[in-house]
Structure 1
Amino acid sequence: MAIIRPRTEADFVSCVVLLRDVHESAGYPVNWPDDPKAWLTPPDALGCWVVTVNGEVAGHVAVTGTAGGALVERLFVDPKQTGQGLGRQLLDHAGQIAGDHELDLTLEVADNCTAAIALYARAGWRETARTPVAWGGDQASAVISFSAPSSS
């Protein structure tokens, strides 16, 4: 059974190991951070959460406050556990957090993250912009911005 809970200090080792697996298998993040533990807690974070399966960390998400709303960040799932709906559960949780704060939710993703882009499309997110990037090397050429589906 999957459970989403606030990330704790004790989760960092598991999160960094999973992040390395995601980086090597899916190219996220495009550039490996100098300090992965610090990278997992972006500035202006409203919170960071993990999803656990049978007590083991299987994914992560952060939500940050922005001038215009909230942003989904640091969303990733254990590559061995993709296809189980864990990413969608984390994405929905981010939406609930933004809603609790009465903030519009957006996200940005590098164009090399095809599985994530497909997840966002299936979940009803709308592409709003594509911005070329120079930092993606031969991995990514643009960042795609998405807006959360309207809650009706």
Structure 2
Amino acid sequence: MGSLRVRPFEEADLPDAAAALVEVHATDGYPVEGVSDPEAWLRSDDVLASWVAEADHQVVGHVAVMSPNGEDAVALWIRQSGESPERVAVLGRLFVTKRARNRALGEELTQTATAYAQTHGLRLVLDVMTKDTAAIRLYERLGWRRIGETTHHYGDGQQTSALCYVAPSS
């Protein structure tokens, strides 16, 4: 894999980003929802900004900064910090295809989203399923702080344990 870069998402990226999402779901079981209509999931009305990772002009990763939509991590952070809800956003839709891993693309995507949030006066939070150990290691290595635990509900009454994190302060 040659040239790598992270850049803002463009509408023309949607089919390739959706295909990468389906690929990640097949290899990792992430995400647990959204795979039936990956284009709609990636372009949710809650997306404030998003980026893709490219390798050799092919989309191999994605991340988004999103408006809160009932996430437990948001409620936990607001309760713990006293932060105004308007100043909190969610890091979401982060994935990198298996063939593009171990090249720091997940780190670069996360840092790009974090920089955007800081520039816009937002504090990022997220929840991550406990099964996603590589993602947990990434967030902790980048200084995200665990603020609690929750249960992620999805699908037809399914659930799994998850951890809530807040991004480091700027």
The answer, yes or no, to whether TM exceeds 0.5 is yes
Paired position in structure 2 for 1:101? 120
Query: What is the root-mean-square deviation of aligned Cα atoms in Å?
Result: 1.9
Q: Go from structure 1 to structure 2 and tell me whether the alpha carbon gap of 1:149 and 1:21 turns closer, same or farther (over 3 Å shift).
A: same
Paired position in structure 2 for 1:64? 66
Q: TM-score, normalised by structure 2?
A: 0.80
Could you tell me how far 1:101 is from its partner in structure 2? 0.5
Contact 2:114 2:124 in 1 (8 A): yes
Q: Specify the SS of the correspondent of 1:141.
A: strand
**In 1, Cα distance between equivalents of 2:153 and 2:47:** 26
Q: How many residues align?
A: 150
Q: TM-score, normalised by structure 1?
A: 0.88
**In 1, Cα distance between equivalents of 2:58 and 2:111:** 20
Q: Go from structure 1 to structure 2 and tell me whether the alpha carbon gap of 1:121 and 1:140 turns closer, same or farther (over 3 Å shift).
A: farther
1:52 aligns with 2:54: yes
1:39 aligns with 2:58: no
Contact 2:21 2:35 in 1 (8 A): no
**In 2, Cα distance between equivalents of 1:95 and 1:142:** 24
1:121 aligns with 2:140: yes
Paired position in structure 1 for 2:78? none
Calculate percent identity across the aligned residue pairs.
Answer: 39
The Cα offsets for residues 116-145 of structure 1, whole Å up to 9 and x where unpaired, read as 1111111111111111244379x9621211
Matches within 5 A, 1:131-146: 131-135=150-154, 141-146=160-165
Contact 1:41 1:62 in 2 (8 A): no
Paired position in structure 2 for 1:76? 95
Contact 1:61 1:76 in 2 (8 A): yes
Unpaired runs of at least 5, structure 2: 69-84
Moved beyond 6 Å, runs of 4+? none
Given residue 22 of structure 1, which amino acid in structure 2 is its aligned partner? Answer: V
